[in-house]
């Protein structure tokens, strides 16, 4: 495992999740729970779920009936699958790529998802793969479904440490990301939610909420599909 700064380590150390990613009181997890409650969501997709922090919180705090949770990290999925089976939770945990070019048809029925959550996978993806991910999520959502997506804020220490002379930290994070996802990933971005906004029009998705949470040091945004196209079907 590469060496990283203490802050980076707290986020990407070990098998990839520091305290930041194991705290069920995390603001983003709480916002996910609130969104599923507000929309009375029964069918949820947890994109790049890691160990399933959000999925687990949703099964405990909402009336969700089915969650498909996937990640490319096999160890994280095995852990979540074991927990879900042991506790009889309605979580279907699978190893899958968020930017799969064939779409999500093999893991979820198209237009079957009420709420999709993609928490902090965005920095791992190239802009092209982010575009593919958004398109895949769009196709998985029911018309009028919701996506909640987060990315590190440019106001976070992580970002500020890396800019403008942060090449060494960037490299370390890149290596950490590679080590963690155990694949030939060769990209780690510091892009922000603003870049996602630029991709949204391409994907017939509109931003309806964007917030910065100081404690979580991340942006969170709820996206709703533009109904005009899909409802005409
Ligand atoms: C920072 S962790 C966040 C995990 C989880 N969403 C959470 O908040 O606890 C980023 C996750 O993205 C996953 N990941 C990276 N690239 C991916 C891809 N192309 N497809 C699916 N998962 C991916 C990593 O394996 C990792 O679990």
Alpha carbon of 76 to ligand 1 centroid (Å): 9
DSSP secondary-structure letter at 190?
A: -
Judge whether 125 lies within some domain: yes
Band of residue 1 on the pLDDT scale cut at 50, 70, 90: very low
Which of 28, 52, 72 should be mutated for ligand 1, with most atoms under 8 A from CB?
Answer: 72
Coil/strand/helix, residue 114: strand
Judge whether 97 lies within some domain: yes
DSSP secondary-structure letter at 13?
A: S
Is the pLDDT at 194 greater than 90? The verdict is no
**15: CB partners within 8 A, 6+ apart:** 73, 75, 76, 180
Look at residues 20, 55, 16 and name the one whose alpha carbon lies nearest to residue 218.
20
Look at residues 47, 220, 19 and name the one whose alpha carbon lies nearest to residue 125.
47
State the closest ligand 1 atom to the C-alpha of 53, by its place in the atom list counted from 1: 9
Judge whether 11 lies within some domain: yes
Alpha carbon of 99 to ligand 1 centroid (Å): 11
pLDDT tens by residue, 91-115: 999 999 999 999 999 999 999 999 9
> Which structural domain range is residue 139 located in?
6-230
Judge whether 36 lies within some domain: yes
- Which pLDDT belongs to residue 125? 81
Alpha carbon of 77 to ligand 1 centroid (Å): 11
pLDDT tens by residue, 154-165: 555 555 555 555
CATH code (residue 43): 3.40.50.150
The rounded distance, in Å, linking the Cα atoms of 135 and 47 is 13
Residue nearest to atom 4 of ligand 1 (CA): 50
Residue nearest to atom 26 of ligand 1 (CA): 50
- Which pLDDT belongs to residue 110? 93
Coil/strand/helix, residue 88: coil
State the closest ligand 1 atom to the C-alpha of 129, by its place in the atom list counted from 1: 19
Judge whether 69 lies within some domain: yes
Instruction: Please state the domain count of the chain.
Output: 1
- Which pLDDT belongs to residue 98? 94
Protein residues whose CB sits closer than 6 Å to any atom of ligand 1? 16-17, 21, 48-50, 53-54, 71-73, 76, 97-99, 119-121, 124, 181
Judge whether 178 lies within some domain: yes
Mean pLDDT of the chain: 74
Judge whether 143 lies within some domain: yes
Residue nearest to atom 8 of ligand 1 (CA): 119
Alpha carbon of 118 to ligand 1 centroid (Å): 8
How many Cα atoms within 13 Å fall on the side-chain side of residue 18?
Answer: 13
State the closest ligand 1 atom to the C-alpha of 12, by its place in the atom list counted from 1: 1
Judge whether 1 lies within some domain: no
């Amino acid at each position: 495992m590469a060496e990283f700064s203490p802050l980076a380590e707290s986020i990407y150390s070990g098998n990839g999740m520091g305290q930041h990613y194991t705290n069920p009181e995390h603001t983003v997890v709480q916002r996910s729970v609130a969104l599923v409650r507000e929309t009375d969501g029964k069918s949820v997709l947890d994109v790049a779920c890691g160990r399933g922090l959000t999925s687990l919180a949703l099964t405990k705090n909402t009336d969700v009936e089915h969650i498909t949770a996937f990640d490319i990290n096999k160890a994280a999925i095995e852990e979540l699958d074991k927990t879900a089976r042991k506790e009889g939770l309605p979580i279907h945990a699978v190893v899958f790529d968020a930017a799969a070019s064939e779409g999500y048809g093999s893991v979820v029925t198209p237009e079957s998802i009420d709420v999709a959550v993609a928490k902090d996978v965005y920095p791992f993806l190239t802009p092209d793969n982010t575009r593919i991910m958004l398109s895949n999520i769009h196709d998985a959502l029911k018309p009028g479904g919701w996506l909640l997506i987060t990315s590190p804020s440019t106001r976070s220490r992580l970002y500020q440490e890396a800019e403008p002379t942060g090449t060494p930290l960037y490299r370390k994070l890149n290596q950490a990301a590679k080590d963690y996802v155990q694949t030939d990933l060769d990209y780690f971005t510091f892009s922000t939610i603003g870049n996602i906004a630029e991709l949204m029009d391409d994907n017939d998705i509109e931003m309806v909420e964007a917030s910065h949470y100081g404690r979580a040091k991340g942006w969170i945004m709820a996206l709703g599909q533009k109904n005009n196209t899909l409802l005409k079907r």
